[in-house]
Amino acid sequence: MVESTNIMHCDLDAFFASVEQLDNPSLRGKPVVVGGSIHSRGVVSTCSYEARKFGIRSAMPVAQAYRLCPRAVFLPVNMQRYLEISKQVFTILSRYSPIMEVISIDEAFLDISGCFRLFGSPEKIGCLIKEQVYSELGLTISVGISYNKFLAKLASDMDKPDGLCIITESQALKILRPLPVSKIWGVGEKTEQRLNKLGIKTIGDIQDLPPGWLEDKIGSAGRLFWELAHGIDKRAVEPEHERKSIGREETFPEDINDIVYLEKLIVQFAAELCRKLRQEGLLAGSVTIKLRDSNFKTITRSKTITPCNSDIIVTRIASDLLHHSYKNKQPLRLFGLSLGHLSPVTSLEQGSLFESQSNADYKAIDQLMDEIRDRFGPGAINRASLLPDKDIK
């Protein structure tokens, strides 16, 4: 009997750090940490494999990463560049299957069920994807192949970096058995501790339990964990997965209450997010700001708007929200801006009866700025409000 291995998980290796090493070859072979300066209170977004040898990992505070490896190269997140490369990677993946579910900026699932006659075996398809991502973009990508999403994702992580791993149905239980429970999709640190207290440390421990035992102990998630431990995952690859919002936030090196700086941050974030919306043909129907003070108290304020993708409109609305909600000038450690209720651009955009200016009023300006950035780079043109004060005459 031929075993089905029709689900593929593709995961770029150390993506942000790899792009930085691609753009600056002098960084190759060096420990690279992407996430901010050593004086920031941010966290590591991605680090190169050279940095991981020192114990650095994603989500670790940048300051801790510096203590582990002071000679590492610390770089800020260049999201616009990463999005540009990500789009090119997904274009390559889409050549091999129309059924693609993008999970994040650097990973996606493919259902390759109907693609074998065109491209060959699952292993052949994986090799073709790896070869094209490297030859066209200079990046490595790890590919996992199995008969469901959970095992395909697990497989892609088993042979990193630049790996290709296949888990068949007959191999699944044996491969899963010795792995720690943290390898189960959805088991985080707290859940792992809870399972450990029940005497469950490996996936094999769950395999040995009756189907309902774990569900009785920890609720409905127990049934899901039992199924995954037995290689059962019924979720399909969903290509029409809708993104509901996009956002940007910044954790400050020191608490601030500088309203002028916050306004500039709004302009910067709005420009980045709205450019992304325009690139993807989307409009935002809501604007939300997030404020977190030095005591970790977090407040959010939102406004529903006529759908738009103009950073001028988003900047004005976010600034109004800031001035109405930030009156006590309590020092902040974090500020964020997000755009929600996303919808596709249609040929006819409905204007607003209650707003003096609409998305269409700024469409020509936005289009011109996008064209300049596409041709000369993201820093070729900016709003005057983003210039340093000394540059404003």
Task: Evaluate whether 163 touches 143 at the Cβ level (below 8 Å).
Answer: yes
Characterise 224 by phi-psi region: left (phi > 0), alpha (psi -120 to 50), beta (else).
Answer: alpha
**Integer distance in angstroms from the first to the last C-alpha of the chain?**
76
Residue 114 has pLDDT above 70, yes or no: yes
Same domain, 213 and 159: no
Question: For the chain, how many structural domains are there in total?
Answer: 3
Kindly compute the dihedral angle of the four CA atoms of residues 373, 378, 384, 390, in this order, to the nearest 10 degrees.
-140
Same domain, 159 and 182: no
Query: Is there a domain that residue 234 lies in?
Result: no
How much is the pLDDT for 83?
Answer: 87
Cβ of 275: how many Cβ atoms within 10 Å?
Answer: 19
What's at 346, amino acid-wise? T
Across the range 68-96, mean pLDDT stands at: 92
Helices and strands in the chain, H and E counts: 15, 13
Q: What is the CATH number of the domain that holds 201?
A: 1.10.150.20
Question: Which residues participate in catalysis according to the annotation?
Answer: 107
Q: What is the mean pLDDT of the chain?
A: 86
Same domain, 265 and 373: yes
Give me Rg for the CA atoms of the chain: 24
Residue 374 has pLDDT above 90, yes or no: no
Name which of 119, 69, 68 is nearest 93 in CA terms: 119
Task: Evaluate whether 278 touches 309 at the Cβ level (below 8 Å).
Answer: yes
Residue 364 has pLDDT above 90, yes or no: no
pLDDT in tens, 27-63: 999 999 998 777 766 788 899 999 999 999 988 888 8
* Residue 321: domain span: 245-391
CB-count exposure of residue 97 (10 Å: 0-12, 13-18, 19+): buried
Same domain, 169 and 22: yes
How much is the pLDDT for 321?
Answer: 95
CA distances from 208 to 133, 151, 180 (A): 41, 19, 14
CA distances from 54 to 33, 99, 144, 161 (A): 11, 39, 26, 17
Same domain, 375 and 336: yes
Across the range 6-33, mean pLDDT stands at: 96
Same domain, 113 and 102: yes
Q: Does pTM top 0.85 for this prediction?
A: no
Same domain, 286 and 329: yes
pLDDT in tens, 122-178: 999 999 999 999 999 999 999 999 999 999 999 999 989 999 999 999 999 999 999
How much is the pLDDT for 3?
Answer: 66
Query: Is there a domain that residue 235 lies in?
Result: no
Same domain, 213 and 254: no
Same domain, 61 and 139: yes
Same domain, 168 and 140: yes
Same domain, 168 and 263: no
Query: Is there a domain that residue 238 lies in?
Result: no
Kindly compute the dihedral angle of the four CA atoms of residues 382, 386, 389, 393, in this order, to the nearest 10 degrees.
40
Least confident of 10-24, 127-141, 352-366: 352-366
| pLDDT band with cut points at 50, 70 and 90 for residue 320 | very high
Same domain, 76 and 167: yes
Overall residue count recorded for the chain in this entry = 393
Measured CA to CA, the distance from residue 132 to residue 104 in angstroms comes to 20
Across the range 177-189, mean pLDDT stands at: 90
Among the candidates 175, 206, 221, a domain finishes at 175
